Amino acid sequence: MEESMEEEEGGSYEAMMDDQNHNNWEAAVDGFRQPPPPPSSIPVPSREPPGGQLLAVPAVSVDRKGPKEGLQLGPPPPPEANGVIMMLKSCDAAAAVAKAVPAPTPSSTININTSTSKFLMNVITIEDYKSTYWPKLDGAIDQLLTQSPGDYIPISYEQIYSCVYKCVCQQHSEQMYSDLIKKITNHLERVSKELQASPPDLYIERFNIALGQYMGALQSIVPLFIYMNKFYIETKLNRDLKDDLIKLFTEHVAEKHIYSLMPLLLEAQSTPFQVTPSTMANIVKGLYTLRPEWVQMAPTLFSKFIPNILPPAVESELSEYAAQDQKLQRELIQNGFMRLCSTYMMYEVLNRHYTALMWMAQKVTSPGRELGMSWLITAHQHVRVPEGTDSDCVECTFLPATRTHWSCRDCIQSTVGPALRRSVTKLFSEEDVGLLSLICNLKKQKTNKQKKQPVSCC
Amino acid sequence: MSAEEMVQIRLEDRCYPVSKRKLIEQSDYFRALYRSGMREALGQEAGGPEVQQLRGLSAPGLRLVLDFINAGGAREGWLLGPRAEKGGGAAEEEEMDEVSLLSELVEAASFLQVTSLLQLLLSQVRLTNCLELYRLAQVYGLPDLQEACLRFMAVHFHEVLCKPQFHLLVSPAPAPGDVSLKQRLREARMTGTPVLVALGDFLGGPLAPHPYQGEPPSMLRYEEMTERWFPLANNLPPDLVNVRGYGSAILDNYLFIVGGYRITSQEISAAHSYNPSTNEWLQVASMNQKRSNFKLVAVNSKLYAIGGQAVSNVECYNPEQDAWNFVAPLPNPLAEFSACECKGRIYVIGGYTTRDRNMNILQYCPSSDIWTLFETCDVHIRKQQMVSVEETIYIVGGCLHELGPNRRSSQSEDMLTVQSYNTVTRQWLYLKENTSKSGLNLTCALHNDGIYIMSRDVTLSTSLEHRVFLKYNIFSDSWEAFRRFPAFGHNLLVSSLYLPNKTES
């Protein structure tokens, strides 16, 4: 079989596919369909159709195939289902022979054969897979990965899909999946290195191109592998190919570049025309697809391109928001770290109680807004009730550069005891109390206890 | 542009027109193709192909799938293949054709990923196609279909097992540690709720514990929570009514009733099995020997019919062939003996030979097909029932007769006793007795944590009928009595079967 496959390699795609599906397999049938014991039990030549016009492959190759398939019937190196297929085929053949007693004419055997799958007639050994099928896929993937989005794709969907399909049906999914992941990982590592080498002025544009090219390639690669996705990745691994491939880009490219990319993006954003808006839009949207949490690194930037990142702002209040923000930021900087932490903690608690109350009152809204804390609003988009809030990065709204590890959610949850909750609830029930006075009150009450908490959490 | 854009699909030298919309709707292949941006996705004007070329599929299979797509998906009462409606017919050849058409259909549907069609196959699993569909599901990686086939095959296990194709499906030696299909199906049969089932010629009437309507049922199930008996939706097959002295055994959660005699005529050789999964009786191959008052024992997935009235031969039933074959006979014909399986061997204890009391414990090894004298005991027992747990045989009821000097009083004839015999230590234990109950005419079954015993006896002196329904708890070595006897009746048999869970059925 290797021989015939190599022949195909030389030819055009069309020729290859035709040959494989219409000619070789029929020849292979004869070698294949012999009953399990010795392949010699039915003389191979006698079972060839006399006309032979269907057989493009010379008898020599048939001979070669016979023993080869026969080998697989023994303790089989290619595992499980191959064996199953083999046995059933041979049983079909046995039945077919029995049916055509006393002397099965070759042509009648062939006719019965047409009832069985042409695709699966060719047993694809792991060697066949490595020497013929994967290289074909490898070439197509290369082409898809390196061409620009929108380019004409000369690859035939049907041919590549068939190739994937055959490999899956012949139990090569696992190998194929790992080859695919390996291949794309290698590609992405190369992409990442190239990016690293780019000068800063081209960096954003190059990142954009890499991202666009990869996402474009996925548009084609994923559909090509849907058979593997459905029958292997989804069912055996409980994953999804597209997610896996997107994750590869996140891990091997985006994560490695995000911290150099973000400052550049923020800088570019403040400098008109340094980067075209479309590039900016692509990157921001792309990053959001890769990892929605990255929004929190620059919510304002993301909110420009992605709807519903921020709550709808009321235009008339814009200046007021800004003034509030500035005042708060000033205060916070003055009061330093402790203050920030306790504010954050207060907010956590407040937010939970307030949101719960609001939900009960069927009046869902942003708690921060009601309290005049617009700076917090931006950070608390995903208020979830009743689990609490998802707010790792309050500070990044005003201190983007210093944000590194400031994730105090865990320690807040662990340190905010019932007593504190109660006191906050009590305070909170006095609706009009402003945030800062709340904090001050709380600090008075809890000075001793609170001293340690920010330290432990930061 | 017409409202319905048509696509020509070419396979070999024929073209099939299909609505593009329906194609994209039903076939993941075409949906992905048109989304891929590759050569075939382009419109004709943009240099795309005139036809969508397919290769390697079979024309009949593709035609069936395209018909399905053109029809806009599943229709009411859709049946597999054109032949499915006919049923019966010249089975062999049609089955062959159906099977090949089926594989072509599944291949085309898998290749084109017509999910709704593949989904529809789940409800089309039949006895005629389950093996082929199972194989196809393996080949094309259709786990749902594979599951559906497994479920179906587990429900119809013995019917599937005796199909010749079954062995071709499972013959490649599975990798070590890999559970074979047969084993998986066996395990699947042992699921559901273990329920005590009573068979017998029950009498209706005012004293019956449950107001049955019409004919009194011949099969009852016991609900442990409410301690009540309910009729099973099925009854004994007519030719089993009034058969006495039959052999019964449970094999793969099938209850086999074999042989026996009719009151009106002589012994029979017929064999029936009750499948609780389908709630159906099946007639299986008859024994070669008519026999009654013999023992039927299930060992290693086979049944052994041992002896009988003046019969010493032994037959083995293999559900895989649905056939009985003689194996090594008993050394002598035995009467009023009992037998059970224990650790893969058969033990025969008690009763009479043609000349004398049988004091020997005989052991049969199925793999070597040899009867051996296991031990000679000094207590004679007859008409007992036997069940086993691990290496311990429980001997329930029967009539004990101790030989030798230190013999117990002969009261034992009127008592219901439970003894155990350990086949490893060869130790006898006299476990429990229940006075005022006779142990001569009882039926028992291992169920949950004990041996459930049911007995109906008439004391000759008083003509009073005793009805007993109790449990010997083998872990606490204690009796537990139940109030509800199933019904007045004769010819009782109690056994423990897995009934399908209500949610499943």
Cα A452 vs. chain centroid, distance in angstroms? 42
Q: Does A233 touch chain B (CB under 8 A)?
A: no
Q: Select the residue from A26, A82, A86, A158 to test the B interface by mutation, using most B Cβ atoms within 10 A.
A: A158
Residues of chain B contacting A237 with CB distance shorter than 8 Å: none
Q: Which two tokens stand for residue B315?
A: 């037959």
Find the helix packing angle between B143-155 and B130-140, rounded to 10°: 150
For residue B54, the one-letter residue type is L
**Structure confidence at residue B473 (pLDDT):** 93
A148-176 burial, b at 16+ Cβ within 10 Å, e below that, comes to eeeeebebbbbbbbbbbbbbbbbbbbeeb
A91 touches chain B (CB under 8 A): yes
Binary contact (A115, B100; C-beta < 8 A): yes
Report the chain B residue with the minimal C-alpha distance to residue A143. B38
pLDDT band at B77 (very low <50, low <70, confident <90, very high): low
At residue B362 the predicted structure's pLDDT band, cuts being 50, 70 and 90, is: very high
CB contact under 8 A, B168 and A173: no
Distance from CA of B365 to the nearest CA of A (A): 31
- Whether chain A has a CB inside 8 Å of the CB on B135: the answer is yes
- Secondary structure of chain A: what % helix, strand, coil (to 5)? 70, 0, 25
The model's confidence at residue B400, banded by pLDDT at 50, 70 and 90, is confident
Q: Report the SS3 class of residue B495.
A: strand
**B53 chain-A contacts, CB cut-off 8 A:** 158
Residue B230 touches partner A, C-beta closer than 8 Å: no
pLDDT at B393 exceeding the cut of 90: yes
Say what the pLDDT of residue B96 is: 64
User: How many angstroms separate the CA of residue B348 from the nearest CA in chain A?
Assistant: 41
3-state SS, residue B291: coil
- What pLDDT was estimated at residue B180? 82
Residue of chain A minimizing CA distance to B105: A117
Residue labelled with tokens 């979830």: A384
| B36 contact A CB<8A | yes
Where do you find CATH 1.20.1310.10 in chain A? 128-305
Q: Is the minimum CB–CB distance between B214 and chain A shorter than 8 Å? A: no
Nearest to A85 among B47, B139, B165 (CB): B139
The pLDDT of residue B287: 96
* ipTM of the complex as predicted: 0.72
Query: Residue A280's pLDDT is what?
Result: 85
Comparing CB atoms, the residue among B57, B96, B113 nearest residue A226 is: B113
Chain B closest-CA separation from residue A10 CA (Å): 20
Please list the residues that pair with B327 across neighbouring strands. Answer: B314
CB contacts of A110 in chain B (<8 Å) are: none
pLDDT at A248: 94
pLDDT mean over B130-144: 88
Give residue A350's pLDDT: 56
The C-alpha atoms of residue A16 and residue A18 are separated, in whole angstroms, by: 5
Residue to mutate among B29, B139, B149, B182, with most A CBs inside 10 A, is B139
* Contact between A240 and A226 (Cβ < 8 Å): no
B385 and A CB contact within 8 Å: no
Q: How large is the C-alpha radius of gyration of chain A?
A: 33
The conformation of residue B201, written as its DSSP 8-state character, comes to: E
Closest chain B residue to A22, measured at CA: B56
CA distance A382 to A389: 7
Residue percentage of chain B with pLDDT more than 70: 82
Cβ-based neighbours of B72, under 8 Å, separated by 6 or more: B22, B26
Please choose, from the candidates A92, A107, A121, the residue with its C-alpha nearest in 3D space to the C-alpha of residue A34. Answer: A92
A207 touches B at CB < 8 Å: no
**Average predicted confidence (pLDDT) for chain B:** 84
Strands B52-54 and B6-11: parallel
* Cα–Cα distance for residue pair A156/A160, rounded to 1 Å: 7
Q: Does the pLDDT value for residue B211 go beyond 60? A: no
Name the more confident of A53 and B37: B37
Nearest to B171 among A17, A87, A155 (CB): A87
d(CA B59, CA B69) in angstroms, rounded, equals 15
Nearest by Cα to B154 from B193, B121, B190 = B190
Contacts A120 to B, Cβ<8 Å? 107, 139
How far apart are the CA of A49 and the nearest CA of chain B, in angstroms? 20
Flag whether residue A13 sits within 8 Å of chain B, measured between CB atoms.
Answer: no
Interface-testing mutation among B30, B38, B118, with chain A (most A C-beta atoms within 10 A): B38
Most B CBs within 10 Å: which of A24, A113, A119, A229, as the mutation test of the B interface? A119
**B81, B101 Cβ separation under 8 angstroms:** yes
Distance from CA of A87 to the nearest CA of B (A): 6
Check B52 against A223: CB less than 8 A apart. Answer: no
Asked if A75 has any chain B CB less than 8 Å from its own CB, the reply is yes
Q: Residue A119 and residue B107: Cβ atoms within 8 Å? A: yes
* Residue A388 confidence (pLDDT): 35
Q: How far is CA A384 from the centre of its chain?
A: 26
- CATH class of domain segment(s) B6-189: alpha beta
Looking at the complex, does the CB of residue B103 fall below 8 Å from at least one CB of chain A? yes
Q: Would you state the pLDDT for residue B227?
A: 85
- Distance to chain A for B287, nearest Cα, Å: 30
Chain B interface includes A111 (CB < 8 A): no
Give CATH superfamily name and number for B193-499: Kelch-type beta propeller (2.120.10.80)
Could you give the percent of chain B with pLDDT greater than 90?
A: 40
Mean per-residue pLDDT pooled into runs of 10, chain A (458 residues): 38 39 36 38 37 34 36 37 36 38 33 47 83 92 85 86 90 92 95 90 89 90 91 89 93 90 84 78 87 85 77 64 69 54 54 49 42 40 36 33 34 42 47 43 44 39
* Partner B contacted by A316 (CB < 8 A): no
Question: What residues of chain A lie within 8 A of the CB of B141, using their CB?
Answer: 168-169, 173, 230-232, 235
How far apart are the C-alpha atoms of B340 and B247, rounded to whole Å? 12
Full DSSP string of B134-201: HHHHHHHT-HHHHHHHHHHHHHTHHHHHTSHHHHHHH-SPPPTTPPPHHHHHHHHHT-SEEEEEEEEE
User: Mutate which of B8, B36, B170 to test chain A, going by most A C-beta atoms within 10 A?
Assistant: B36
Superfamily of domain A128-305: Cullin Repeats (1.20.1310.10)
- Sign of the Cα torsion A124, A126, A131, A132 reads positive
Is any Cβ of chain A less than 8 angstroms from the Cβ of B37? yes
Domain positions in chain B: 6-189, 193-499
Contact by Cβ (8 Å): B52, B46: no
